[in-house]
Amino acid sequence: YDQLAAITAPQCPTTSARPGSQYVPTASDLDAALAAGHIIPFYQPKLSVSTRAITGVEVLARWRHPDHGLVGPDYFIPLAEKEGLIERLTDQIIDQSLVQGRIWLDQGRPLKLALNLSALSLRHLDLPEDLLRRVEGRGLSPEQIVLEITESALASDFSASLDILTRLRMRRFALSIDDFGTGYSSLKQLQHGPFTELKIDQSFIAKALEEEGSLAIVESSVQLGRRMGLKVVAEGIETEQQMDLIRHLGCDEAQGYLLGRPVAANDFPR
């Protein structure tokens, strides 16, 4: 449902996909789309809770499909992972967003770029060096990059991922633990992982004002993150009430439809 809400956002003038559209892409469709450059980054702002200044953007993959409109990542990321296309996809998204990041920087907007990494990427020993080379090759520095990694991505082989994470951190990339609270070994991962940011999952934010249990999870996640010296980000902020709540609880940054939907670079707010 999130997906459909995102792809039918009125701020996305290119959207033609409708909720309920039955497009099920195949591996060869996706392969062709990658070759044609139809997989592109969208950008959603991350804002400071206290000032509402835009501090960064999360890069979210979209498939600009000639027949099916704008297709969201839930329809093709799992396919890409299964069919061995995720590396190419990730490379393309990263390259395009680094180019855009450099354009913003040249315009005097040093926006941090938050990139989503697949669990599979965390198994590549050369990821840290590779990424550093690309980032510097585009005239950016690793301090400007936040790597968002979901708890479930870490769960599959935590000790191997931990090694990669440590090397990424040594190269000064910021590391965010995404969808916090939805994995099963969050506390261990948080304690031992070299994270710099904790991103509270939107499912808890969505229910926090109606349900005591979700509120308790949001509140204790914020406290935990702060005690561990992490930047705490709330995602899925859709109302001013939710914004008030996370400000009151002490979140540093916020992201959500209230503050800005994912859009193409050209439509990004000035």
Q: Is 148 in the site for Ca ion (CB under 5 A)?
A: yes
Query: CA-based angle 154:113:214, to the nearest 5?
Result: 55
**Angle of helix 158-170 versus helix 127-137 axis, rounded to 10:** 30
Which residue type occupies 178?
Answer: D
| Residue 113 three-state SS | strand
Give the residue closest to ligand C2E by C-beta. Answer: 256
Residues 6+ apart with CB under 8 A from 167: 128
Binding mask 43-72 for ligand C2E (x = CB under 6 A): -x---------------xx----------x
Please give the single-letter amino acid code of residue 47.
Answer: L
Site string for ligand C2E, 208-247 (x = CB under 6 A): ---------------------------xxxx---------
Which of ligand C2E, Ca ion, none interacts with 87 (beta carbon under 5 to 8 A by kind)? none
Contacts of 216 (CB under 8 A, 6+ apart): none
Applying CB under 5 A, the span of 14-22, 63-71, 138-146, 179-187 interacting with Ca ion comes to 179-187
Please report whether residue 178 would count as binding Ca ion according to CB under 5 A. Answer: yes
Candidates 262, 263, 264, 268; binder of ligand C2E (CB under 6 A) is 262
If the CB atoms of residues 29 and 127 are measured against Ca ion, the closer one turns out to be: 127
5 binds ligand C2E (CB under 6 A): yes
Q: Which of 207, 157, 153 is nearest to 177 (CA)?
A: 153
Q: What distance in Å separates the CA atoms of residue 139 and residue 221, rounded to the nearest whole number?
A: 35
Q: Which is nearer to ligand C2E, 179 or 252 (CB)?
A: 179
Closest CA to 254 of 14, 50, 2: 50
Contacted entry of Ca ion, ligand C2E, none for residue 60, CB cut-off 5 to 8 Å set by kind: ligand C2E
Q: What is the CA radius of gyration of the chain?
A: 18
Residue 93 touching ligand C2E (CB under 6 A): yes
What residues have CB less than 8 Å from 232, skipping those under 6 apart?
197, 198, 200, 221, 222, 225, 226, 250, 251, 252, 253
Decide if residue 147 touches ligand C2E (CB under 6 A).
no
Q: Is residue 25 part of the contact set for ligand C2E (CB under 6 A)?
A: no
* Type of residue numbered 217: I
Query: With respect to ligand C2E, which residue has the nearer C-beta, 44 or 221?
Result: 44
Residue 73's binding partner among ligand C2E, Ca ion, none (Cβ under 5 to 8 angstroms by kind) is: ligand C2E
Is 83 a residue that touches ligand C2E (CB under 6 A)?
no
Q: For residues 200 and 196, what is the distance between their CA atoms, to the nearest angstrom?
A: 13
Per CB under 5 A, residues contacting Ca ion are 116, 148, 178-179
Q: Which residues bind ligand C2E (CB under 6 A)?
A: 2-3, 5-6, 44, 60-61, 72-74, 77, 90, 93, 116-118, 148, 178-179, 202, 235-238, 255-257, 262
